[in-house]
Each structure stands twice: as C-alpha cells, then as structure tokens.
Amino acid sequence: MHEWALADAVVTTALKVAENEGLKEISEIIVKIGELQTIDTEIFNFALKEVMQPQKELLEKATIKIKPEKAILKCKVCKHEWLFKDAVKNLSEDETESLHFIPETAHVYLRCPECNSPDFEIIQGRGIWIDSISGER
C-alpha cells in the first residue's frame, strides 16, 4: 500500500525539517493531499501514527492535519476550467480505477466540457505534500 510509503516520507521529511530548523519538538504538521492522489486517508492516518511511534521525543505532541485539495483541470484550447470530480461522474468503475493508478490517463477518458478537447492540464490537485510544520525550538 502506497499509504505507508507516503506516511514514512512525511515523517522523514518532518524530522529533517525539525533538524534543519533546530526544533526540539514538532507540534503540528499540515499535509495537503490532491484529489488525484486518491489515497485511503484512514490507512494513511493509521500509518502516520505507527511511523511516528519511534520518534516520540520530537513527535510526542504532534498533531497532523490532512487537508484535501480539489483537482482542477484547464483546457489548453479554450482556457475553460472545471473540477475533476464533475468530470468523472460519467466514467465507469474501471475508468475511474485507471485514473486512480495513472492520473495521466485522464486525457484518454476526459474532455473539456466546453469545447470537447482532450487537450487539458491538471493545474491543481495532484500529489501529496507537507504544507507546513510548526514546532518549538
């Protein structure tokens, strides 16, 4: 499950930031997850707690907030922007699963709702990243 690898990456990055910033304790980590990442947040939260356990001295009081970011698509032809969640409403389960594992396949299944072009870009809502880390020096 990639949720465990992502959780490990978040904790490892937070520990490196704490070291670089001279933090004695991390109080809060805000993680943003793009809609196209489509991870199981329950598993991700569980994995985060488990990965944090050996790092009690720095992460004992840390809270992790997960904030979703909506995916927005933008047509390269007519410049129309639309939400990914609206675009996938008419897709089959197999098509939606393909998008989950390989978001780049969106160009195969989706078209601009204004001009019907398959030429669009994902301008927001991909990936997972640490938005901020707070702590005590």
What are the mean pLDDT values of the chain's consecutive 10-residue runs (137 residues total)?
87 92 93 86 90 83 92 96 88 79 77 94 90 92
Whether the CB-CB separation of 73 and 126 falls below 8 Å is answered with no
**The domain made up of 2-69+125-136 is a member of CATH 3.40.50.970:** no
pLDDT at 1: 55
Total-model pTM: 0.75
Q: Where are the domains of the chain?
A: 2-69+125-136, 72-124
